[in-house]
Amino acid sequence: MTVTEETAPASHYDRIGGARSVKAAVDLFYDRVLADPDLAGYFTNVDMVGQRRHLTLMLTVVLGGPNEYAGRGLAEAHQPLNIPVEHYVKVGEHLVATLTELGVPADILADVRTVLGQVQDQVVASGNRPGV
């Protein structure tokens, strides 16, 4: 028996509603981040239309949707910003709060938290990591 789309489990991306839901999450997420005085400064000179597009594509991949992301890697994009771990944690909290507000199921939230943990060292500046 071959696995078909009908018998394959739905991806997280499909379960939350696909492209429209991811875009809504990204928009709400950046509204939260830009309202946070500790984080807004990172985006002062950033093309937010492009930034929102990049995160939408990246979050789509994380959630198991189509991989159309062709932007810079996380380390390349974030290391020059010298981001401290406490700001990374705040961004993660904003993302999880956004997804929670939008009704994303707990198992998907847990997977997003796992990914946030896995990529932290690519985003947080090496001198700002505990124990480094």
Domains and CATH numbers, the chain: 12-128 (1.10.490.10)
How confident is the model over 112-132, as pLDDT tens digits? 999 999 999 999 987 655 544
CA angle 66, 72, 76 (to 5 degrees): 140
Amino acid at 7: T
Predicted confidence at residue 4, as pLDDT, reads 53
Indicate the pLDDT class of residue 6, thresholds 50, 70 and 90.
low
How confident is the model over 70-89, as pLDDT tens digits? 888 888 889 888 999 999 99
Q: How much of the chain, in percent, has pLDDT values that exceed 90?
A: 76
Predicted confidence at residue 1, as pLDDT, reads 45
Q: What does the alpha-carbon distance between residue 39 and residue 92 come to, in Å, rounded to a whole number? A: 12
How confident is the model over 24-64, as pLDDT tens digits? 999 999 999 999 999 999 999 999 999 999 999 999 999 99
**Mean per-residue pLDDT of the chain:** 90
- Tell me how crowded residue 119 is: count the other CB atoms within 10 A of its CB: 18
